[in-house]
């Protein structure tokens, strides 16, 4: 199915054709499209390590799911938390935000149980997928910005973050203590 109308709004229309026995295959719809995998009632959702959001700093690409039924209106719900960071007086040229979790993976594949009612992405023990980068169009002037990052739900025992300019220089960096993402 493909988006037919409503991009960027709270209501959208999708068009596609499902015939005969293929109707049984329609279990859920996932946004944004990606390298997700469905096996029975288990869904493996890919949380990317890089988001390229262009000039729209309010774009989150937070993973959403809607359980499907034939001929019904579907409602999407978030599978992950959304962590938001606000910065004042950010210099021109800044174009990347890098977030690193101290003790949990925040990128890669996460299993979601579709039987449990709430299809949520839970934080996983740390391997090496604990950094996510949000790239955006370089700021053309000094300004306040807000960046949101999709995160698996859980308690994190610390995070660090950086704002980088076009040459990769660190403009701002900081760290946090324990944080809950719900």
Report DSSP letters for 92-141, one per residue. TTEEEEEEEESSEE-SEEEEEESSSSS--PBPEE-SS--EEEEE-PPPSS
Q: What is the mean pLDDT of residues 172-182?
A: 77
What SS3 class is residue 25? helix
Q: What is the mean pLDDT of the chain?
A: 82
- Supply the pTM of this predicted model: 0.81
Q: What is the mean pLDDT of residues 48-63?
A: 87
More confident: 104 or 60? 104
More confident: 69 or 49? 49
pLDDT at 111: 83
Per-residue pLDDT band at 73 (split at 50, 70, 90): low
Given a cut of 70, whether residue 70 has pLDDT beyond it is no
pLDDT at 79: 84
Q: What is the mean pLDDT of residues 144-170?
A: 92
Per-residue pLDDT band at 96 (split at 50, 70, 90): very high
């Amino acid at each position: 199915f493909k988006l037919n109308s409503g991009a960027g709004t709270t209501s959208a229309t999708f068009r596609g054709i499902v015939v005969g026995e293929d109707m049984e295959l329609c279990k859920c719809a996932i946004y944004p499209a990606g390298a997700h995998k469905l096996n029975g009632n288990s869904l493996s959702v890919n949380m990317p390590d890089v988001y390229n959001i262009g000039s729209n700093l309010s774009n989150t690409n937070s993973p959403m799911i809607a359980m499907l039924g034939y001929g019904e209106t579907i409602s999407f719900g978030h599978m992950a938390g959304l962590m938001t960071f606000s910065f004042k007086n950010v210099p021109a040229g800044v174009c990347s935000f890098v977030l690193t979790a101290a003790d949990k993976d925040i990128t890669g594949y996460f299993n979601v149980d579709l039987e449990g009612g709430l299809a949520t992405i839970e934080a996983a023990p740390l391997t090496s997928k604990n950094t996510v980068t949000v790239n955006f169009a370089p700021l053309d002037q000094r300004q306040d910005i807000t960046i949101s990052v999709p995160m698996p739900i859980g308690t994190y025992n610390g995070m660090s973050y950086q704002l980088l300019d076009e040459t990769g220089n660190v403009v701002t960096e900081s760290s946090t203590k324990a944080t809950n993402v719900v």
